[in-house]
A and B are shown apart, each in its own frame.
Chain A
Amino acid sequence: MTAPMRPQASACPACAAAPAAEALAELDKPTEADIMLSLPAIHCSACISTIERALNAAPGVHNARVNLTLKRAQIEADPGLTAADMIAVVNGVGYEAHELDAGALRATATDRAGRDLLMRLAVAGFAAMNVMLLSIAVWSGAEGATRDMFHWISAAITLPAIGFSAQPFFRNAWKALSARQLNMDVPISLAILLAVGTSLWETTLSGEHAYFDAAIALTFFLLAGRYLDHRTRAIARSAAEELAALEVPRAWRLDEKGEEQQVSVADLKVGDLIRVRPGGRMPVDGEIVFGQSELDRSLLTGETLPVYAAPGQKVSAGEVNLTGPLTIRASAVGRDTSLHRMADLVAIAESGRSRYTSLADKAAQLYAPGVHILSALAFVGWYLYTWDARVAINIAAAVLIITCPCALGLAVPAVTTAASGRLFRKGLLIKDSTALERLAQIDTVVFDKTGTLTTGTPDLANLGDFTRVELEVALALAEGSSHPLSVALTAAARAHGITPAPLDNLGEIPGYGTEATWQGRTVRLGRAAWVGGGQTRQTSAWLAIGDDPARPFLFTDSLRDGAAEAVQALQDMGKKVILLSGDTPSAVEDLAKRLGIPQWASECLPQDKSARIQSLTDKGQKVLMVGDGLNDTAALAGAHVSISPASALDAARVASDIVLLGSDLSPLPDAVKTAQSATRRIRENFTIATWYNIIAVPLAIAGLCSPLIAALAMSASSITVSLNALRLR
């Protein structure tokens, strides 16, 4: 780790003078267990010191440090300690903690590119300040030998500084040129090189005008834009990777003796016996060989109702096991699982999406050829007029410097940084750099139901139908199980102050329900067929006391916080809202009525959803897709822009442009508004930059542009666009 970090002597003379930093880097080497925890709830100095004190006091911990910006803790500990021990410590002082897959985060932990840009920015800033200081003397009238000396000192500072700081531009320009293409970096590099070259030439001839200050200031402003851009993307990327790292891919394989071994999902083979515990997710496709339970397939199909599972039944990767432990035999692993076949569907949809050209790219396409032609014309014109190459080159260089896209380079990153920061604070993570522009254009919003508009957890609907005694029995039965319906029943009953009745012989029969004896009578809570109930339109759990007829507890899917507000606000903004779900018609219709969504479709297969989106797109509509399940991924990838909640499956989050970090949906309309105002600011910034060019370019072509005017125009336009970006609401 240390070797690549050691900078080359020529690139950065200062590094040799920072031995302490080297020593620090040395200390960072992971010689012990390296544990990384996500701490989503920390927010202040008290949180930091409480957690650090608790962790550092724990036996075996060498050093623990909390990072508030990333909301993480990094712990160096004895090799024997595991993340679970550390999570217990953090939970003990009252904070939520999750294990992070350190391997998945390794790339973001050291942001080499960011520090590299920051270093170049600092060198450019230092050189720009010093050269500007000397230039002021020249502008205010230094002459003869004094002016020449100042120019030489400026050159001595500028040349090495540009050689180090402007490397990213030179490298990008070279890459584009060798691919026979033209990008923004080509005119930038040309302007910097031409400005330095002509200034050096002028200085050797004791000329009046030297543009060293312009060259280095240009580098500084453009690097500032690059750095802002990088920061925005690095924050989004590290947060997105953190979501992926939360799902540590492990499975429990049974060896020949029937003992469980913890292995990585990647090591599973076809034919392996795998134990899936209640609450666990199927790591592979397979067949149940032992155990009874219920499966939650909502992430794959959108169904809310759990499905009964017994030996012989096929299961797909991604399904969640609810009640009893299951043993499955793997029939397909890794790339062959149904989960991955869904991902292939995403790839197809993605290739169908027309590549969106961002506003900045459009500007660059117009701009790059334009300035080269303009500057070449200025050179030819002046050469024919004066037959003096020196004058002509000077003027051509001035034109390139004046038109150089300082403001253009800052116009987009300054706005997207401000907008992304604002949305990040509201709990939205912008993953794609053009997502904001695309979000601003939408006119139709398509929602998925389960897990997006609803939380996917049930709510008890008919508590009032039962007597207190019945509820006491039901509560006691429900507390014996961790099935989602039981959990919902427990929560609702507890909220009404019900206390559990004393039961004997309480036991859960996985896949069916719970059973016990109460005052000598058998009581049951569970599936209709097992308890002796009938059919209901809604999700239900049945209660039977002794020989009395069984009665159903009815459940509705609980709405996600802010779902009603978000749908209402989007409709008020004039957007068309559509609900597409894989669930049953009755459940979808109920929800559509509750939220006032006029257009809905039920029992949609993944292909149906993406076909719907495609047909809307073909009609010229810009669709925002909001969904969380595997059945949504193709639609998410095919839509103009897409959002998924943080609770979504990894594949869905990868396919979407924006991730909703909180559980509340209400920031959605705000996001659309922010995106619209951000796009407006970007356009304004382009207008401002264009006006500066319209005023300054004729001066440059006329040969009236002194280095002072160039410096003024450049700084003024850069600062105006930055300030304009900060106005973003």
Chain B
Amino acid sequence: MNVIAYLIPISIILGGIGLLGFVFTVKSRQYEDPEGDAQRILSGDYDDKPKA
């Protein structure tokens, strides 16, 4: 049973990392243009190097 002493904190920390990632995406306004983002993936504009 001692294994849960590791597993529970690990599961909470992993979930917390996901939450932090989500908070970051909201703060940096990545949900302002969902349709545009879906379309931009089809363009080859910045395939070789990211936009400066």
Contact = CB atoms under 8 A, between A and B. Distances in A.
A118 B18 CA distance: 15
Contacts of A133: 11
Contacts of B32: 67, 69, 111
A82 interface: no
B20 A14 contact: yes
A126 interface: yes
B19 A44 contact: no
Contact of A122 (B22, B39, B42, B45): B22
Nearest to B23: A14
Contact of B20 (A17, A129, A130): A17
A21 B20 contact: no
Contact of A21 (B18, B24, B31): B24
B23 A48 contact: no
Interface in B9-46: 11-12, 15-16, 18-20, 22-24, 26-29, 31-36, 39-43, 45
Given A20-B28, A21-B28, A133-B11, A15 B39 contact: no
A104 interface: no
B1 interface: yes
Interface centre among B20, B24, B33, B36 (most CB of A within 10 A): B36
A35 interface: no
Given A66-B36, A68-B35, A126-B15, A49 B43 contact: yes
A15 B26 CA distance: 11
Contacts of B24: 14, 17-18, 20-21
Contacts of B16: 126
A70 B29 CA distance: 14
A15 B27 contact: yes
A45 interface: yes
Contact of B43 (A45, A67, A118): A45
Nearest to A134: B8
B27 A48 contact: no
Contacts of B20: 14, 17-18
B23 A45 contact: no
Contacts of B43: 45-46, 48-49
B15 A69 contact: no
A177 interface: no
Contacts of A17: 20, 24
A44 B23 CA distance: 29
Contact of B35 (A25, A69, A111): A69
Interface in A1-34: 12, 14-15, 17-18, 20-22, 24-25
Nearest to B24: A18
A49 B45 contact: yes
B26 A122 contact: yes
A69 B33 contact: yes
A118 B11 contact: no
A130 B12 contact: yes
A49 B45 CA distance: 7
A49 B28 CA distance: 22
A44 B12 contact: no
B33 A18 contact: no
Contacts of A67: 32-33, 36
A115 B22 CA distance: 11
Contact of B23 (A15, A24, A49): A15
A53 B45 CA distance: 9
A146 B33 CA distance: 46
A119 interface: yes
A153 interface: yes
Contacts of B8: 134, 153
B40 A45 contact: yes
A69 B23 contact: no
A242 B15 CA distance: 39
A45 B28 contact: no
Interface in A297-330: none
Nearest to A5: B27
Interface string A112-124: 0001001100110
B26 A119 contact: yes
A129 B19 CA distance: 12
A111 B31 CA distance: 11
Interface string A39-62: 000001110110011000000000
Interface string A126-140: 100110011000000
A157 interface: yes
A123 B40 CA distance: 29
A118 B26 contact: yes
Nearest to B5: A149
B26 A48 contact: no
Contacts of A118: 26, 31
Contacts of A53: 45
A12 B26 CA distance: 13
Contacts of A134: 8
A157 B12 contact: yes
Contacts of B36: 48, 66-69
Contacts of A46: 43
A45 B42 contact: yes
B23 A122 contact: yes
A69 B29 CA distance: 14
Interface of B: 1, 8, 11-12, 15-16, 18-20, 22-24, 26-29, 31-36, 39-43, 45
When A and B form their complex, which 4 residue pairs have the shortest distance between CB atoms, in order from nearest? A68-B36, A21-B27, A45-B39, A14-B23
30 contacts: A14-B19, A14-B24, A18-B20, A18-B23, A18-B27, A18-B28, A20-B24, A22-B27, A44-B39, A46-B43, A48-B36, A48-B40, A48-B43, A49-B43, A66-B36, A67-B33, A67-B36, A68-B36, A69-B33, A69-B35, A115-B26, A115-B29, A119-B26, A122-B19, A123-B19, A126-B15, A126-B16, A126-B19, A129-B15, A157-B12
Given A45-B42, A133-B11, 11 more contacts: A18-B27, A20-B24, A21-B28, A22-B27, A44-B39, A48-B40, A49-B45, A66-B36, A68-B36, A115-B31, A122-B26
